[in-house]
Amino acid sequence: MKRTLYLLVAVTLLAGLYFLFGSQEKDSSAALLSDFSVSDLSEVQRIVIASEQYRDIELSRRGEHWYLQDGHRARKNAMKNLTEVLTGLKIKYLPPAAAYQNIAKELDEIAVEVKIYGAEDALLQSYLIGGSVADERGTYMKHADGDRLYVMHLPTLEGSVRGRYLHSYDDWRDRTIIDVSYEDITSVEVNYPRQSVESYTITKTGVTNAVGRTVKPSPKIEAYLKGFEGIAAEAFENSNANQDSIRQLLPFCELKIRMQDDQEKIIKLYPVENYVDQALVTLENTPRISRYFADTSWGDLMLVQQRIIGKLLRGYSYFAENE
């Protein structure tokens, strides 16, 4: 009887110990598995992304905006996609043991290294990103200081998270080409080299063409000058192999925007459709144009759509038609 009682006590004690340590191990494992994500995005001050595919990227928070290491503002949509992953990464499953060695080898070869820093450069996260699983619905990852592999995913994304981290420097950049408020504009000079009769200088006090004819202030002038905010390009063309030859051509239009602080922005537009044969393009032909190469005074060559910038491509006759 006593022996049976001792056995029951021993079994109960062992079960309790198993439950205690098993729960702790489970809790520890759960904490480890969720350790890729950042719980509080407001703590993140700097993000470093290194890969063999592109130059290393360093993103730093300044107030409400993110900036790249060369001082350019980061593109909002790219940052939105990245921060969704930083805070939303979840484990999907552990890779099968049989495939572990091959996965680890591939990860080391194509790894994207991510380091996330908080205040005073405190390291919050550091991990490596590998390739995708066969169905593209998960991504192999591991902690920088660990050996254990995980298949991670973003529950709201049907696909690999790797692409959210990998962009060229220009693809990370904000694509705003013109963003000047009405209050900050001193004047805008609009030149059409092939149609000089339509060229002019516009201020809040009127529009003056090349021969000195002037149109007095009007709602059209005010509306036009209020259209210089939030003009975004489609893409950067700084890697375009033909950029030197494009810049040698006679532009369709040249915009010079002068601001209250005496700064000036100059943008030269070359229609993509006919920059090769230099076919004559006038304002009447703009419905045939869908895109322009935009050569900027700050050094970038960009691609901008007619439907976005077209509202700024007015001729003198547009303002003088009711005079």
- Show the CA angle centred on residue 248, arms to residues 279 and 241, nearest 5°: 95
pLDDT, position 31: 41
pTM confidence score: 0.81
pLDDT, position 179: 97
pLDDT, position 70: 96
Q: How many CB atoms are located within 10 Å of the residue 166 CB? A: 14
Domain assignments of the chain as residue spans, ordered by start:
34-172, 176-320
Task: Quote the strand ranges of the chain, DSSP E.
Answer: 46-50, 57-62, 65-68, 90-93, 112-117, 123-132, 139-143, 150-153, 176-178, 185-191, 200-203, 206-209, 214-215, 231-232, 235-236, 253-259, 264-271, 291-296, 301-305
Q: What is the mean pLDDT of each run of 10 residues along the chain (323 residues)?
A: 44 39 38 72 97 96 96 97 95 90 92 97 96 92 92 92 96 98 98 94 95 93 97 96 93 96 96 62 76 97 97 95 71
pLDDT, position 274: 63
Residue 101: C-alpha distances to residues 137, 147, 161 (Å) = 21, 11, 22
pLDDT, position 323: 62
Q: Give Cα 239 to chain centroid, integer Å.
A: 17
Q: Give Cα 223 to chain centroid, integer Å.
A: 30
pLDDT, position 273: 76
Average pLDDT, the chain: 87
